Structures are given as structure tokens and as C-alpha cells.
Structure 1
Amino acid sequence: MEYIYLITPFSAWLVAGITKFIVNSIKAKQLAFGLIGYGGLPSNHSAIVSSMVFLIALKEGVAHPAFGVAVTLAFIVLLDANSLRQQVGKHAKAINALQADTKNKPLRERMGHTRIEILAGVAVGFVVAWVLFNLFSNVAA
């Protein structure tokens, strides 16, 4: 088994998560442990799925059936990150406003991603896939 297919999405998740923590900490002017989760720049989901799209394109080529499957999965995840999850966040905000006087724990409002956050995730996925592809290619050679 080629472990690059396991290492690449995990590495993309890790790089995107660390980058997001740094960006959030800079914005908050303090360590932003409370902002870890859904939403923010870059999108972890976008980084993970796009890393596999780019890895498969680099290793197998764009004519390979696995590339088509990866693009399809990435398309679904990217659409979900931009539209559905943003709507979930808007609903959470409205529900939180309605239950402001209760003792219920507020729902997480920060859910979806902007197009810039998604594109940043895709960029992270590309860079991680390219670096690991070249690293593993040189090791195998």
C-alpha cells in the first residue's frame, strides 16, 4: 500500500488547522483556542478533499477513474461548505436570539465558509499534495 494516500489528507488537515489557529489568534490578538472548529480560513474540509484530488492527478493522471471520483467528492464537500453549512450557521444565530432568555447552551453559529476560505483550503490541499508527491517520488527513486 502506498501510505502517501493516508498521509496526504491527514497532513492537509494538520496544515490547515495550524494555519487557521494562527490566523484566528492574530485576529483575536490572543491564542484562539475557543475559535477551533467549523468555519474560518483556510477551510479544513476543502484542504482535505482537494489534497486527494491533486494527489490523484499527480500520481495517476486526470484520465484515471479515481480522479473523477475525487473531483465529484470534492465538489460535494465544497458546495456543502459554502452553502449548506452557512445556512446552518444562520439558523443557529436565529435560534440563539430566540432562546436568549433561557438557560440553554447557545448553538455554534460559526459553521460555513466564504469562497476565500474555501479557495485558501484548496491552495493548502494543492501545496501539501505537491510537496508530499515530490518528497515520496524522490524517496522511491
Structure 2
Amino acid sequence: MNDVHSYLFAAVPPIAWVVSGCLKFAVNSVRHGKEARKHIGNGGFPSTHTSVVSSIAATIGFTAGWDSPLFGLAVAALMIVMIDATGVRRAVGENSRWINDISRRHPGGAHSNLREKQGHSKIEIAGGLGVGTLVGWLASLLV
């Protein structure tokens, strides 16, 4: 095993995280201009969580084979992340929106300022899957 290959699997997820985060900031800069910094965090295009997990799944698939047990495990983890992002985390964001709205309508009460942007749309998930797969493919070329 060469030196590049021995560190490849540990390096790919952080690289995907940085690539996805930079792309997300660029998209937010186009959409929101100077307000882009306020949109840093969960939610948005592409899904960073999906990018990170899909990058390692793709790297495993490209290097160990699409029929390897390790690739199957990585796909299972990826599915959980994507389902969570479009289901649970999206619902948390919607509930936060409702709670913030209710607290704004009641003067004199405690005002909540919950983060409303938590989950992802299917397009944002697909973007994260694309970014992660691309990073995994590029990384596999180093082997």
C-alpha cells in the first residue's frame, strides 16, 4: 500500500466538507449577496452532510469495488444521512419556523430565535451526492 492510499480514506471526508462548504457559500453569495454569512450552517445547496458521507462511499466503491461489503455499509450510512436530512432535520426547521412565528405574535413574552434552516430539499441532497461522488472519484484516481 503506498503512502497516498493509506491516508486517502481519512482525508476524503474533510476534503468533501471543505469543497461542499465553499460551494454552499458561493451559492449563498449569489442568492443573498452580502447577507451570505447569515446563511452559513445547516441547510442549503449542496448538502454538506451528504457530500461527506457520499465521498467516502464513492471512494470505497471506486477503490474496493461496488460489490464489496464495505461499500454496502457505506451506502447504508449514506441512506440514513439523506433520509434524516429530508425528514427529521427538515421537520425540525419547519417546527422552528412555527415556534418563532408564535413567539413574535405574543408581545411581552419570551421571543425565540430558533434556526429555521435545518434540513434539505431533494435537489440539495442531490447536489451533495454529486459533490461527494466527484470528490470520491477524484481521490480514487490517486490510488
Task: Give the TM-score normalised by the residue count of structure 2.
Answer: 0.90
RMSD: 1.3
Aligned length: 136
Of 99-108 and 122-131, deviating more is: 99-108
| Cα contact 2:103–2:112 (8 A) shared by 1 | no
The answer as to 2:85 corresponding to 1:81 is yes
Name the residue aligned to 2:8: 4
Q: Take 2:44 and 2:119, find their aligned partners in 1: how far apart are those partners? A: 8
Q: Take 1:67 and 1:129, find their aligned partners in 2: how far apart are those partners? A: 12
Q: Take 1:128 and 1:62, find their aligned partners in 2: how far apart are those partners? A: 17
The answer as to 2:66 corresponding to 1:67 is no
Q: CA deviation at 1:63?
A: 1.8
Q: Deviations over 1:49-97 (max 9, x none)?
A: 1111110001101221111110000000000001111100010011111
User: What percent identity do the matched residue pairs reach?
Assistant: 38
Q: CA deviation at 1:104?
A: 3.5
Q: Return structure 1 stretches of 4+ with deviation > 3 angstroms.
A: 101-105
Q: Take 2:44 and 2:84, find their aligned partners in 1: how far apart are those partners? A: 15
Task: Give the TM-score normalised by the residue count of structure 1.
Answer: 0.91
Name the residue aligned to 1:125: 132
Q: In 2 relative to 1, CA 94–38 (structure 1 residues): closer, same or farther, beyond 3 Å?
A: same
Q: Take 2:66 and 2:135, find their aligned partners in 1: how far apart are those partners? A: 18
Q: Take 2:100 and 2:75, find their aligned partners in 1: how far apart are those partners? A: 36
Structure 2: which amino acid aligns with 1:79? I
Gaps of 5+ in 2: none
